[in-house]
Amino acid sequence: MQVQKSFADHDKGMLYLVATPIGNLEDMTMRAIRILKEVSMIAAEDTRQTRKLLSRFEIENRLVSYHEHNKAASGPELLRLMEEGSSIALVSDAGMPAISDPGADLVREAAERGIPVVPVPGANAALSALIMSGLPTDRFTFAGFPPRDKKHFDKWLQELKSLPGTLLLYESPHRINKTLPILLNVLGDREIAMVRELTKRHEEAVRGRISECMAHLEEHEPLGEYCLVIGAGEAAETEPGSGWWELLRLEEHVEHYERLGSDRKEAIKQAAADRGLSKRDVYNEVMRK
Which band of pLDDT confidence, cut at 50, 70 and 90, is reported for residue 289?
A: low
200 C-beta neighbours (distance < 10 Å), count: 13
pLDDT beyond 80 at 203: yes
User: What's the mean pLDDT when you consider all of the chain?
Assistant: 90
Which band of pLDDT confidence, cut at 50, 70 and 90, is reported for residue 244?
A: low
Give pLDDT, residue 236.
Answer: 46
Average pLDDT over residues 19-30: 95
Residues 6 or more apart whose CB falls under 8 angstroms from that of 16 comprise 35, 39, 87, 88, 89, 90, 118, 119, 120
Residues 194/205, Cβ–Cβ less than 8 Å: yes
pLDDT digits (tens, 9 = 90+) for 174-190: 999 999 999 998 899 99
Ranking 12-16, 104-108, 165-169, 257-261 by mean pLDDT, the lowest is 257-261
Which band of pLDDT confidence, cut at 50, 70 and 90, is reported for residue 238?
A: very low
DSSP state of 20: B
Give pLDDT, residue 256.
Answer: 79
pLDDT beyond 70 at 275: yes
Q: What is the CA radius of gyration of the chain?
A: 21
Which band of pLDDT confidence, cut at 50, 70 and 90, is reported for residue 10?
A: confident
Looking at the domain covering 15-123, what would its CATH class be?
A: alpha beta
pLDDT digits (tens, 9 = 90+) for 111-155: 999 999 999 999 999 999 999 999 999 999 999 999 988 888 988
3-state secondary structure of 167: strand
In CATH, the number for domain 126-238 is 3.30.950.10
Residues 28/120, Cβ–Cβ less than 8 Å: no
146 C-beta neighbours (distance < 10 Å), count: 22
Measured CA to CA, the distance from residue 97 to residue 92 in angstroms comes to: 5
Determine the Cα angle at 131 with ends 153 and 219, to 5°.
60
Determine the Cα angle at 173 with ends 167 and 174, to 5°.
115
Which band of pLDDT confidence, cut at 50, 70 and 90, is reported for residue 260?
A: low
pLDDT beyond 60 at 241: no
Q: For 124, list phi and psi in degrees, rounded to 5.
A: -145, 125
Annotated domain spans of the chain: 15-123, 126-238, 250-288
Q: What is the pTM of this model?
A: 0.77
Give pLDDT, residue 240.
Answer: 43
pLDDT digits (tens, 9 = 90+) for 63-101: 999 998 888 889 999 999 999 999 999 999 999 999 878
Give pLDDT, residue 99.
Answer: 87
